[in-house]
Amino acid sequence: MLQIGPYQIDIPVILAPMAGVTDRPFRQLCRQQGAGLAISEMVTSDTSLWQSRKSRQRLDHRGETGPIAVQIAGADPQMMAEAARQNVDNGAQIIDINMGCPAKKVCKKAAGSALLRDEALVASILQAVVSAVEVPVTLKIRTGWSPEQRNAVAIARLAEDCGIQALAIHGRTRACRFAGQAEYDTIAKVVQTIKIPVLCNGDIDTASKAQQVLQQTGAQAVMIGRAAQGRPWIFRQISHYLNTGHLLPDPPLSEIRDILCTHLEQLAEFYGPVMGPRISRKHLGWYLQTLPASGPFRAKFNQLDNAQDQYASVRDYFEQLLEREENAA
């Protein structure tokens, strides 16, 4: 169990915020598949940009199960405070601050993980945001800017002192991006140093790995990012294993087909008839990573620009897979 302010999160398996991935349809799907909490895509703290189509979609939480957690990014304390206030007015129940994104375009603006190089600015941002809103404020960081500048423990102490109510840590420095092994030993040191809940993120791609990481770090929850792409059922698999010690198999092909079709329908509904089918292509690619003989089908699917044609092609593809499975049995 994970406590964030007044919110009790009964399932300690959280969907990580991922730009361009954790939109409303994906968050809702992951919650249905067992995620205890789903954090929104990163939203810029520059509220003057919120009228763009992309920002309006990122700020759309209609129909979501609470608590609604919104991640904001920026490097100016007052802009971050104002962005937090406006998100709370828009329905956010938890504000998450991004100090973990390694993307160059974010770090160029001295935001995301670039902030880890300036502990005084980190403190100013955290204090400004915590003071601006009544809801809990959480923070996501990396273990530092580079292996030579690993300061997760110092940042964690700062965060606790500033009133941050939970800390998520991706177990790599900014310089490491997604290469190498996640540093669970650094996360364990943070857990031993602070009293607020710590969420462990990085390289957790199976239920047994989730349990191992929780035991190794002492963290209160795991945060799943890339491993959920095309495999939203990973949340129920991890939760079931943590509760029972038994591994759930992957869903049967018929259930994967139904999950995928529902996901594609929701993307078309959310993004509209032009953008919906385009955005569906990358999600389909992730689902196909676990399925056989998918190359030719994916190439064909990527030529389709109509949602109805996409659904029909998915159903045909799965029909062939199910037929092969039946013949092999």
The C-alpha torsion from 56 through 61 and 63 to 65, rounded to 10°, is 170
**Cα–Cα distance, 234 to 238 (Å, whole number):** 6
CA angle, residues 218, 175, 182, in degrees to nearest 5: 25
Which residues are catalytically annotated? 101
**Cα–Cα distance, 88 to 80 (Å, whole number):** 12
